[in-house]
Every structure is written in C-alpha cells, then in structure tokens.
Amino acid sequence: MMNTSTKIAIFGVGLIGGSLALCFKGKPNLTVVGYSHRSDVLERIKARDVVDYATLSIEEAAQDADFIFLCVPVGALEYYLKKLSSLKLKPGCIISDVGSTKSSIAACANTLTMTEAHFIGGHPMAGSERSGVEAATSLLFENAYYVLTPSKNATEEAYAKLEGLLQHTRSHIIRVQPQLHDEIVGAISHLPHIIAVALVNQVRGYHQKNDLYRLLAAGGFRDITRIASSDPVVWRDILLNNREVLLDLLADWTEEVQQFRDLLNRQDGDGIEAAFKRAGEFRSELPERRKGAIQPLFDLYIDVPDHPGIIGQITTELGAHQVNLSNIQIIESREDVPGLMRLSFRNEQEMERAKAPLQALGYMVYV
C-alpha cells in the first residue's frame, strides 16, 4: 500500500521547533521527525514526546521529507540550508526557517541551486524568554502573526502548501519582503533589546558606586527592562545578523536622544510635554495584547494585606475556578502598608477569567 503520510522534519527541537512539532504531531496523515545535533538533546526531545521520532542524522531526517523547518539559532541557519541543498531531497520539498532575521537567509537561499526544493523564509512572531524543548507548547503561535518571506525559487503552489500546513499553528500568516521584515522587527524588537541592555548596564555602573540603585530599581525598572534578560547567544546572532539595519536605527535613536538633550538644555517644558503627548497618542493606537515580536505580559496586580495565608487563599480560589496561574510575586509587603501582588498568566483569557473571582474575594484588581 502507498504511504500517503506527509513527513515534516524539524531541525532544532527547542522552544520554537518543539512548539511547531506539537502543532503538527497527531494530526491526520502527518508524521513529525526531529533532528538534533546532540544525543542529550535527543533524549530530552523523546522525553517531552513532541515528535513521532527523533534522529541525530541530517540525512535520515531530510530523506523523503515534504516539509523541513530549520529552527536552530540564526547563526546556524545557513549551514543547514547549504547542507540540505547538497542532499537529494524529495521533489517539491518545502524548506522553511523560523529565524528572527530574514534578509541574510533569503540571500543565501537565492545563491543556492535547489532544483527540486523551494525555500520560503518564516518568522513566527511569538516566543518567550524561556528556551529549550521543555518550554514548547502547541499554543505558542495561536493568534500571533507568522511572517513568510518566499525566495525567488519558491512557487505560489509551494507557498499555498506551506500556508495550508501552518493553519495548524492557528497563527495569522502574512507575506513580507525580507528587507522590510528586518527593518520593522529591528525597530520594534531588536533596538528595544539593545536599549534595555544599555539601560540596565548604565544603572549597573551607578550601582557599583552606590547600593541604593539596585534596591530602588525593584518594580517598574525591572519590568521595563525585562527583555535585557534574554538569551545572550541567541541575541548575539540576531544583532550581528541585522547589523546594517541596526546601525541605521541606532543613528536615528541617537538623534531622538539628542532632541531630549536639547529640550532639557533649553528647559523647554512645552517641548517635553509635546514629546510625551505624541508618544502617548501613537502608543494608544497600538493593538492591545496581541502576541508579537516581544512577548506581552498577562499580569494582574492586587493590593494585599500582610497576613499569613493570603497566597493560599488566592491560589485556592483561582484553582477552584480552574484558572491557570503561571507565576505569583509579592512586590512589596511591610507590616504598615499593604503589599502589591503580581499574578502572571500564560494568556489573556486566563488573565480575564481570574478577575471576577478575585474581585468577589474583595480585592482591588489592576491590569
């Protein structure tokens, strides 16, 4: 009997690769194979049960595959794409990647002769600060934008096939030119990561002269610089890969900073107000809480009195309403003032469902 199953190979089964695998595994006529370069990772992939089978062999993973997703760090993408172009792939095989930058991999694909295969770059714009297969979830891409950047050799038929398969991720597929993708993502994600790291390191420098900096930086400063704690290796690769775009963006950023210096030098209060107003207006037009290049927070804050058993009461109540809490933190709690508790949720629905039970217990709930 002829085997009609569609074979999907995932190279690099970490957070993103593992999450894609979970979207496909168990669906009718789909078989998912995971490739890893290390045997200990292979064991973790098997333990997490995200693929139908896992292998250390590139050839075995690629052989007869209908789709190949490269989900390795940006710096390793070209190696695998070149390697695949030298193998005998199944005619019509569609190769895609999930890298956070798109121009360089698109340029690489355009130089390769892939007579039988199509390369269509991809970037699912959802993620997390966590990494590894243990953090994978089939819900990761739900409602997120998933950018596709077809290369010269990709046919419309191949694009439609990939788009069809990616329906399993329940994301919104959007077609964007690679260079435009890198410019936009550079501005809304890569530049903010640089600024967050620079800001934290600036304050770290002050802190080395005075301990009070770290103490008082709890709360708001910690929140707005959350992305400074992202994986250094992943971000090294992304920033170097998008270097040209980022150098232009940093020139614009320097210009923005200079404008603030001028406003302060001139003691121009109206100018400062106008800058805040312009920013506030544009910010209020941004879509709310959709998943994006930077993972949004789904946090609620409640005032809590400092007395024993409060955490137990809240977690029991949320548990009774089957609301999944992903983190809980007391931001400040002293005997004389109520503490502020932060409750974190994995998604917006869970966060919304938590509000009513907390209010019914008499808590003031803030978003």
Residue 37 interacts with ligand NAP (CB under 6 A): yes or no: yes
Q: List, as one string, the DSSP characters of 78-105.
A: HHHHHHHHTS-PPTT-EEEE--S--HHH
**Which residue spans within the chain are E strands per DSSP?**
6-11, 30-35, 53-55, 67-70, 94-97, 118-124, 145-150, 172-175, 299-304, 327-332, 339-344, 365-366
- Cα 303 to Cα 364: distance, rounded to the nearest angstrom: 6
Residue 100 interacts with ligand NAP (CB under 6 A): yes or no: yes
End-to-end CA distance of the chain: 57
Cβ-count burial 156-188 (b if 16+ within 10 Å, e if not): eebbebbeebbebbebbbeebebeebbbebbbe
Q: Which is nearer to ligand NAP, 15 or 196 (CB)?
A: 15
Residue 121 interacts with ligand NAP (CB under 6 A): yes or no: no
What's the min distance (Å) between Cβ of 303 and ligand NAP? 33
Tell me which residues in 227-246 interact with ligand NAP (CB under 6 A).
Answer: 234, 238
At 36, give phi and psi (nearest 5°).
-130, 150
**Matching residue, tokens 């005075």:** 210
Residue 12 interacts with ligand NAP (CB under 6 A): yes or no: yes
User: Which of 131, 179, 333, 344 is the binder for ligand NAP (CB under 6 A)?
Assistant: 131
**Matching residue, tokens 């077809």:** 150
Q: Which stretch binds ligand NAP (CB under 6 A): 96-104, 176-184, 330-338, 339-347?
A: 96-104
What's the min distance (Å) between Cβ of 235 and ligand NAP? 9
User: Which of 121, 127, 150, 186 is the binder for ligand NAP (CB under 6 A)?
Assistant: 127
User: Which of 50, 51, 99, 190 is the binder for ligand NAP (CB under 6 A)?
Assistant: 99
AA letter at 233: V
Residue 314 interacts with ligand NAP (CB under 6 A): yes or no: no
What's the min distance (Å) between Cβ of 98 and ligand NAP? 4
Residue 137 interacts with ligand NAP (CB under 6 A): yes or no: no
Q: Residue 149 gets which letter from DSSP?
A: E
The answer to whether the beta carbons of residues 33 and 55 sit under 8 Å apart is yes
User: Which of 51, 98, 185, 196 is the binder for ligand NAP (CB under 6 A)?
Assistant: 98
The mark string for 256-275 relative to ligand NAP (x by CB under 6 A, - otherwise) is --------------------
Residue 186 interacts with ligand NAP (CB under 6 A): yes or no: no
The answer to whether the beta carbons of residues 183 and 211 sit under 8 Å apart is no
Tokens representing 19? 């999450």
Q: What is the 3-state secondary structure (H, E, C) of 189-216?
A: HHHHHHHHHHHHHHHHHHHCCCCHHHHH
Residue 72 interacts with ligand NAP (CB under 6 A): yes or no: yes
- Cα 95 to Cα 78: distance, rounded to the nearest angstrom: 12
Residue 15 interacts with ligand NAP (CB under 6 A): yes or no: yes
Q: Which is nearer to ligand NAP, 13 or 30 (CB)?
A: 13
Residue 13 interacts with ligand NAP (CB under 6 A): yes or no: yes
Q: Which is nearer to ligand NAP, 192 or 357 (CB)?
A: 192
Using CB under 6 A as the binding criterion, the count of chain residues that bind ligand NAP stands at: 25
Q: Which stretch binds ligand NAP (CB under 6 A): 33-41, 177-185, 313-321, 332-340?
A: 33-41
User: Which of 124, 150, 178, 186 is the binder for ligand NAP (CB under 6 A)?
Assistant: 124
CA distances in angstroms from 134 to 49, 81, 128, 151, listed in the order given? 10, 26, 12, 32
User: Which of 8, 9, 10, 16 is the binder for ligand NAP (CB under 6 A)?
Assistant: 16
The C-alpha R_g of the chain, in whole angstroms, comes to: 24
Residue 74 interacts with ligand NAP (CB under 6 A): yes or no: yes
Tell me which residues in 42-71 interact with ligand NAP (CB under 6 A).
Answer: 71
What's the min distance (Å) between Cβ of 47 and ligand NAP? 13
What's the min distance (Å) between Cβ of 349 and ligand NAP? 21
The residues of the shown chain that bind ligand NAP, judged by CB under 6 A, are: 12-17, 37-38, 41, 71-74, 76, 98-100, 123-124, 127-128, 131-132, 234, 238
